[in-house]
Structure 1
Amino acid sequence: MAGTQHLIHRMVCLRSYPEVTTRMLVLRQGRDFASDNAPSGVYEGTEYHTLGARMRPGISAFFGLPGYFAEGLRFLKRWRKADTRNILFVYGPPSSDNLLFTGYARRLGYRVAYYLVEDIRVQGHAGDVFARIKHGSGVFLTERIGRLADAVLVISRRLQDQIEPLVGGRCPVRRLPICVDLDAIVPADRPFGNPVRLFYGGTFAEKDKVELLLEAFEALCSRGRDLRLALTGRGSPDRMDAIRKRIEATACRDRIDWLGYLETGDYYRRLGEFDILCMTRGSSAFAQAGFPFKLGEFLAAGRPVIASRVSDITEYLTDRQDAVLIEPDSVAGIIDGVEWLLDHSDQARQIGLAGRKAAEQFFDVRRQSRTLLELLESL
């Protein structure tokens, strides 16, 4: 859901410009958004419609494809405005799910911009037939993205280095990092509580290495540190089952608070309750190509953040200045980072405040929206 919220922030801010109208066409793979909202309506001021809302994975879904594509084409034609610039902003790579839509949109006069946030070559996918087709077509079409796009935006330098040779100068390739709605998160400037509360929120995917955080937390408790750990989010059934079993197996399970899934507003309000926010990741190629969406929100909360050195993080943050940076895949790094903050509480407080300033400088969605709008207007 973090990626969906990230996109919604951008749509809301673009809509604040009087010359911009935003609408969202949600494809059936947007399962998080579709499961949380009605198939059609208005969300955060942006009109949206979900295609294939009733389609289910499996062979039977093939029978719904003609209606799925016809419905999408009708909306693209209906939403097109004459005598103005029309942009189709595609979140994710070209694939079998969106190729017909983007091709038709270009025929109608739309400019097409893709926003790539993951390396499709190493991205995992569900086992159903649609997911396999989508993934295979995504790999194939991304290698030819220069013929399909009027602009490509990427979330990291590694993706930029990967995409620019594929585009071959046919269209601009720009880096657009994560964004955060700073007005939605009130920074909390206060000393550590007693006990000190650690926090992780996210998708619990393999890349997030939550098991390492649990292992580090167990070691810290065994050393006599007075800590609690709060967890929130959701993931695949298999991953959530594995995390629950790992929690049940730890000797300090009575110090771990499972908050379930928090709605966005509640999640933002509660970030400031915690003392140390943990953004741990592994060193996989997938983690290195992307960028942790939650990092901007954690920094905005004004609390000290422990973050793994993956992707472009060191371009934005400096260790012991605006975050505590650790090596990925490192239990020892998590332990050392937490203990350093506990033993340097005054500096920890300043790191939290500096982290908020870093979020304001690099990840402010309103500042980024102006840059994005200028690019889209140039197409």
Structure 2
Amino acid sequence: MEGEKKINLVVFTREYPVGMASTKRIQHLMEYLKSRDVMVKVLAFRGNIPQPEMKGMFKTIPYQNIGHGIKLSFRQIGKVISYYISGFKLIAQSKRKDWKNIIYKAGGLNIENILFVIWAKLLGFKMVMAIEEDYSFFSDNIKMISRFKIWTIRELDFLNCKWADEIIVISYYLKNKYLKKGVTKITLIPVTARINSGDNRKSFNKPLQIVYAGTFADKDGVSDIIRGFLEFKRSFKEAILILTGKSAQQEEYREKYRNERDLLFRGFVEDNDFYPLLRNSDVLCMCRTESGFANAGFPFKLGEYLATGNPVICTKVSDVEYYLDENDAYLIEPGNPQQITEALLSI
């Protein structure tokens, strides 16, 4: 409206423009906001995934990577100090006079990013925290430094409530959690996705192409998908299971099933290949387990699966049944490989 200040939105994230689910969530949301005349800029802090450029433009949205590949260790203390100084400078330079300046912080506070958030607040930025997980449920076996970082996420959660001018969540569980903590401004956005359907297909691929895309944590139910697929293969020989995503856990699965020729571990797949892979698949699997961590969040990839129009097998976890019924996807009970097999046979 005339007379209102324009919005200058600065995004704090880890990986950009190439990244995993959190990156894609940001991209879809920011592209929409950009279309509504919001000024958007992305600052990516200490990412690890190789990027095409450290600074550039991705689909009309400018971005800059700071401290890419730096390890927070005493051996790199000079680089670490330079990283924080560069971050402080870029945040200050991102503020616009006479605009409504807002930080969109992907994920909650932790020991690493808290200094940048404090600095932004001192500069007068409003703060939007996008919370996607409840780490009080996290129990995966990870490195000690990662466990420490997750501990700080849990311990600093009370500051998310105090410092955020708005909290964005992806599930009703998280919405209720922060309502109980006294937060009044909460917005629920379960997924963001772009339509990815192709021409009407008349037949399945040969061999049948089943796809899982995502992480390989305990909550993701990858072992259930594999067991269900291998049982399915006893009745239907011409089928392959493609699993994308790169992590230490993925390497463990690759080693465990190294003799299964129809299990294809693709690792990280670039967007130019990833979205056609989803679009051309025959079946997509999102089979999270019945765990507190899984139920607290919402499966981002489910939105991208459904956007293809292809058959989807999905477990009844989190808020899935608020949005979907048997007409939308093959809904099954979590932790049940036999139902995955049955769903594949029925398709």
Considering the TM-score relative to the shorter chain, is it more than 0.5? yes
- Per the TM alignment, residue 193 of structure 1 is displaced from its structure 2 partner at its CA by 4.0
What does residue range 347-366 of structure 1 map to in structure 2 within 5 Å? none
Q: What amino acid maps onto 1:42 in structure 2?
A: M
What does residue range 217-366 of structure 1 map to in structure 2 within 5 Å? 217-222=229-234, 224-237=235-248, 239-249=249-259, 253-319=260-326, 321-341=327-347
Rounded Cα–Cα distance in structure 1 between residues aligned with 2:217 and 2:27: 22
Q: What amino acid maps onto 1:17 in structure 2?
A: R
Q: Are 2:54 and 2:64, in contact at CA under 8 Å, matched by a contact in 1? A: yes
Going from structure 1 to structure 2, the CA distance change for 1:39 and 1:257 (only over 3 Å counts) comes to same
Q: What amino acid maps onto 2:117 in structure 1?
A: T
State the SS of the aligned residue for 1:314: helix
> Quick check: 155-164 or 206-215, which moved more?
206-215
Tell whether 2:143 aligns with 1:127. Answer: yes
- Per the TM alignment, residue 339 of structure 1 is displaced from its structure 2 partner at its CA by 1.9
- Per the TM alignment, residue 240 of structure 1 is displaced from its structure 2 partner at its CA by 2.3
Rounded Cα–Cα distance in structure 2 between residues aligned with 1:285 and 1:37: 37
Q: Are 2:109 and 2:159, in contact at CA under 8 Å, matched by a contact in 1? A: no
Rounded Cα–Cα distance in structure 2 between residues aligned with 1:268 and 1:255: 21
Which structure features the higher share of strand residues? 2
Q: What amino acid maps onto 1:104 in structure 2?
A: W
Partner of 1:198: 210
- Per the TM alignment, residue 151 of structure 1 is displaced from its structure 2 partner at its CA by 0.6
Going from structure 1 to structure 2, the CA distance change for 1:120 and 1:37 (only over 3 Å counts) comes to farther
Q: Are 1:211 and 1:246, in contact at CA under 8 Å, matched by a contact in 2? A: no
Going from structure 1 to structure 2, the CA distance change for 1:303 and 1:212 (only over 3 Å counts) comes to same
Q: TM-score, with normalisation over the residues of structure 2?
A: 0.87
Q: What amino acid maps onto 1:231 in structure 2?
A: I
Q: Are 2:229 and 2:241, in contact at CA under 8 Å, matched by a contact in 1? A: no
Tell whether 2:42 aligns with 1:24. Answer: yes
- Per the TM alignment, residue 232 of structure 1 is displaced from its structure 2 partner at its CA by 3.6
Q: Are 1:125 and 1:135, in contact at CA under 8 Å, matched by a contact in 2? A: no
Q: Are 1:115 and 1:154, in contact at CA under 8 Å, matched by a contact in 2? A: yes
Partner of 1:210: 222
Which structure features the higher share of helix residues? 1
Partner of 1:3: 22
Rounded Cα–Cα distance in structure 2 between residues aligned with 1:187 and 1:329: 34
Output one character per residue of 1:112-158: Cα deviation in whole Å (capped at 9) or x when no partner. 000001112233585253x3443222111112322111011111111
Q: TM-score, with normalisation over the residues of structure 1?
A: 0.80
Q: What amino acid maps onto 1:6 in structure 2?
A: R
Rounded Cα–Cα distance in structure 2 between residues aligned with 1:309 and 1:161: 19
Rounded Cα–Cα distance in structure 1 between residues aligned with 2:219 and 2:202: 31
Rounded Cα–Cα distance in structure 2 between residues aligned with 1:138 and 1:259: 31
Rounded Cα–Cα distance in structure 1 between residues aligned with 2:56 and 2:116: 21
Output one character per residue of 1:306-334: Cα deviation in whole Å (capped at 9) or x when no partner. 00111111111002x11011111111121
Q: What amino acid maps onto 1:31 in structure 2?
A: N
State the SS of the aligned residue for 1:36: coil
Q: Are 1:209 and 1:281, in contact at CA under 8 Å, matched by a contact in 2? A: yes
Rounded Cα–Cα distance in structure 2 between residues aligned with 1:311 and 1:193: 32
Q: Are 2:254 and 2:265, in contact at CA under 8 Å, matched by a contact in 1? A: no
Partner of 1:351: none
Rounded Cα–Cα distance in structure 2 between residues aligned with 1:79 and 1:235: 33
Tell whether 2:175 aligns with 1:175. Answer: no
Rounded Cα–Cα distance in structure 2 between residues aligned with 1:27 and 1:71: 10
State the SS of the aligned residue for 2:314: strand
Gapped regions of structure 2 (runs ≥ 5): 1-19
Q: Are 2:228 and 2:337, in contact at CA under 8 Å, matched by a contact in 1? A: yes
Gapped regions of structure 1 (runs ≥ 5): 342-379
- Per the TM alignment, residue 63 of structure 1 is displaced from its structure 2 partner at its CA by 4.5
How many residue pairs match? The answer is 327
> Quick check: 136-145 or 190-199, which moved more?
190-199
